[in-house]
Amino acid sequence: MRIGILSDTHGRVKTVVRALELLREREITTVLHCGDIDIPAAVEPFRGLEAHFVFGNCDIERESIRNAIAVSGLSIHEPFGDLELCGKKLAFLHGDDHALFRDVENCGHFDYLFYGHTHCAERHLTGRTHVINPGALHRARPKTFLVLDLITGDTETLEVD
């Protein structure tokens, strides 16, 4: 099973649509969004996918975004996402709450921790946890997101222009 991980879309609907087209071409239907959705309209392109969201520091319209997620049949996780897929324990959060980030990173419970906020792709290992920032789809050059194969652990970084 492969999943898509993206972050920091900041209401750039056209960029989100292009990124999701690349995922759909790869037959990827599960997507994690690591926050800074920014506007409710940025949720609509995810309709029909199994999409999971967390809020970021720029998600000021939280109630409207929460409603857009619910109406689209998607999921919001607060204060962070915690899923198990294919036997892998996944956590995802935005990364602006440094204490929460450190707690989740160092708890030793997760195989993967995905985060955003910095707009910079990055990865490292903390204990058994692969800590990965997929990059951002706004205010980043290049604009990147990630595909993870949960069976093999292989990752693919994709760019959107």
**Residue 133 near residue 115 (C-beta atoms within 8 A):** yes
Q: Does domain 2-160 have CATH number 3.40.50.300?
A: no
Q: Note the pLDDT tens digit of each residue in 86-105.
A: 999 999 999 999 999 999 99
Q: Note the pLDDT tens digit of each residue in 101-121.
A: 999 999 999 999 999 999 999
Q: Note the pLDDT tens digit of each residue in 27-83.
A: 999 999 999 999 999 999 999 999 999 999 999 999 999 999 999 999 999 999 999
- Predicted TM-score (pTM) above 0.85: yes
